[in-house]
Amino acid sequence: MHIPTADSLTVAIEPFEDALRAAKLQSHIAYDVRDWLYVPNHYDEYRYILGTVGSRPLICIGINPSTAAPNDLDNTLKSVERIAHANGFDSFIMFNVYAQRATRPTDMDKTCNERLHRENMKAFDYVLSLYAGEHPAVWAAWGNIIELRPYLKDCLRDMTQIGLRRGARWYTSGSISKKGHPHHPLYLRKDSPLDPFDVAAYINDCL
């Protein structure tokens, strides 16, 4: 279990570009960088990206990262990987609305760390830029937890604007919640199909 040691405002935040450069280097890393994209490339109080390397990834958007790392996926990431493969993708990338690690979302920052958010958005833009000519597939999977902190909705709005610029196509899997939010991946069937998701309408209606 990961409980934040402190408010993220008190934590040193590595800029995304620096963390990405380090993540591409194999030296002194216990996993193969040809198979994994992990930024930062070490366990820290935050995580920008965790995923497998491929030519056609499913980019899943949760709320915040927990304990998962390369070759040590938690149950949520195992579900993401299964559903990605079941829907014809050769890889997955786990991304989050907010980058602070917390096993329990209730332990997340009470207010938004704007620097962490900016670096997280740079990471999202980078991932989409790799596949922008192919309309990258983005799976909305944050569930009702989006309502836990008011700033999460603002973070998500920024993400959707980046997705619009990069030509992303949005999907959901499973039923929409009674509150109108997309389903979290943890409790989906192994072969759950992806359905088109009108993220612009969702922003207007639910956020």
**91 in Cβ contact with 53 (< 8 Å):** yes
Q: What is the pLDDT of residue 1?
A: 63
pTM recorded for the entire structure: 0.95
CA dihedral 185, 144, 59, 152 (to 10 degrees): -150
Distance from C-alpha of 29 to C-alpha of 41, rounded to nearest angstrom: 8
User: Which of the residues in the chain have pLDDT under 50?
Assistant: none
Residue among 93, 159, 170 at smallest CA distance from 120 = 159
- Could you give the C-alpha distances from 189 to 6, 96, 123, in angstroms and in order? 36, 21, 29
Backbone φ and ψ for 60, nearest 5 degrees, come out as -100, 135
Question: Euclidean distance between the first and final Cα of the chain, in Å?
Answer: 30
Model pLDDT, residue 191 = 83
